[in-house]
Amino acid sequence: MKEEDIYSELSSIRNLMERSSRFISLSGLSGVLAGVYALTGAFIAYRLVYKEDSGLRLRDFYANDPLVLWPLFAIAMVVLVLSVFTGVWLTIRQAKRKGENYWNPVSKRLLANLCIPLFTGGLFILALIVRGEYDIIAPVSLIFYGLALVSGSQYTYSDVKFLGFLEIALGLLAAITPGFGLIFWVIGFGFLHILYGAIMHFKYDK
């Protein structure tokens, strides 16, 4: 057997092992669109929470107003639903295009590892809302989202782990910088998603 044939066989074996242990049909474009949704939602939230003369610091008067809180909650839910729907739809489409099964043991483990930190963080955020601790909701959402990405990264592209670490770092910075939660939220869920999605798209969406 020629040397190039050996390398070809080894490459095929490696690709087969990767496909059997990692879900490689995640859509980079869905990350870009999720970032766009987040930026749009953040802009609307900014207009609700901040006033033209308040700068970038949180003003409790507006944040604690029930007439503002419920619209903010609705905006967050719309952004979440759109992001999840877009991610699922584009991932299924990409898996079909690659001739892969999008619902397999690996994708199930990926989903489980993502959902545990996400649901835990979601329940924690609900507890914060009940207690009126609105100023740390943004840091908590970033930290738990980052933990979910790091947890799920073992079943997909390693790039996801680095995005998770960045989200956690942003959450910690937001926690020690009160009054700027929306800015860190925009960076984490908006700009980082767009950057990560673009990199993933040009790197893997072939």
- Average pLDDT value over all residues in the chain: 79
Q: Between these two residues, 62 and 177, which has the higher pLDDT value?
A: 177
Average pLDDT over residues 11-31: 59
- Report the distance separating Cα 100 and Cα 105, nearest Å: 13
Q: Of 175, 203, 170, which is closest to residue 189 (Cα–Cα)?
A: 170
Average pLDDT over residues 147-176: 90
Q: The whole model's pTM is what?
A: 0.79
Average pLDDT over residues 119-136: 87
Kindly report, residue by residue over 88-99, the tens digit of the pLDDT: 888 888 878 777
Answer yes or no: is pLDDT of 9 > 70.
no
Answer yes or no: is pLDDT of 169 > 90.
yes
Tally Cβ neighbours within 10 Å of residue 143: 23
Q: Of 73, 14, 65, which is closest to residue 41 (Cα–Cα)?
A: 73
Q: Which of 24-33, 72-81, 163-172 has the lowest mean pLDDT?
A: 24-33
Answer yes or no: is pLDDT of 8 > 60.
no
- Report the distance separating Cα 165 and Cα 173, nearest Å: 12
Answer whether 140's CB lies under 8 Å from 122's CB. Answer: no
Q: Which of 73-77, 131-135, 159-163 has the highest mean pLDDT?
A: 159-163
pLDDT value of position 10: 45
Q: For residue 103, what are the contacts with CB-CB under 8 A and spacing of at least 6?
A: none
Average pLDDT over residues 123-130: 89
pLDDT value of position 6: 45
Answer whether 38's CB lies under 8 Å from 193's CB. Answer: yes
pLDDT value of position 12: 45
Average pLDDT over residues 138-162: 88
Average pLDDT over residues 13-19: 46
